[in-house]
Amino acid sequence: MPASVEPALAREIGEKILVWWYRHRRDYPWRCERDPYKILIAEVMLQRTRAEQVVPVYLEFVSRYPTVEDLARARLEDVQRYFAKLGLQWRAQKVLEMAVYIVNRFGGKLPQAEEDLLEIPGVGEYIAEAVLVFAYGADRVVVDTNVVRIVERLFCAKSRGEGRRDPEIRKIAYLLLVPGKAKELSWALIDFGALLCRSTRPLCESCPLRDLCCHGRQKTRSEKAVDNYARKRV
């Protein structure tokens, strides 16, 4: 556990993020879904793609292929037509391989063990973690680049290498967990990073965490220093 992060403070921050999210959350069809297969498809489509762009394609796709067995029997050219709408035509082959593997290896049911999920073609650490949390209720945070950025700013942490794989960043992210709310907190962090704690031009003045955030406090001190300097110049 990072010595500089107080668990009680981290929990308080997690709770405040949830309060913010219940008022400002974004609604997407996959967030109401409990079918692990459909959650998997959503996560594949969402990689490097805007969620708003994914919505109509996702709905068409799961309507055409409502089960992993349906997808495993599909023709490549048909699947490609859906992914071409997202500019991801090349991903169709991997999705078909994924479906066939799940049917042949796991009898059409996505496994609940992370090591088994990682066996599936096209499933990496992030997608496996998302399935575990959003489909199976695992008590962990789905760590993506948004979460890394939020953690770094909140606690003035610095990731090493790829942030979402940094064990210290992950430890801090897990300290934010509110019991029984891992799924909601993961969505909240995604939305918080997209709407407030943005990669560029973060909306610190509107942030409910500004007084608890290391980056926010530094920004406030800097603004006060500039303001004081301006007053002296008058």
User: Is the confidence at residue 179, as pLDDT, over 70?
Assistant: yes
List pLDDT tens digits, range 112-138. Answer: 999 999 999 999 999 999 999 999 999
d(CA 173, CA 168): 9
Secondary structure letter of residue 89 according to DSSP = G
Compare 1 and 197 and report the one with higher pLDDT. 197
Domains annotated on the chain, with CATH: 35-134 (1.10.340.30)
- The pair of structure tokens assigned to 229 is 């300097």
List pLDDT tens digits, range 59-70. Answer: 999 999 999 999
Secondary structure letter of residue 140 according to DSSP = S
Compare 103 and 225 and report the one with higher pLDDT. 103
Q: Can you give the length of the chain in residues?
A: 234
> pTM to 2 decimals?
0.88
Write phi, then psi, for 123 (nearest 5 degrees).
-100, 115
Residue numbers annotated as active site: 43, 126, 144
Average pLDDT over residues 205-223: 80
Write phi, then psi, for 148 (nearest 5 degrees).
-60, -45
List pLDDT tens digits, range 135-170. Answer: 999 999 999 999 999 999 999 998 888 888 899 999
3-state DSSP assignment of residue 41: helix
pLDDT reported for residue 220: 61
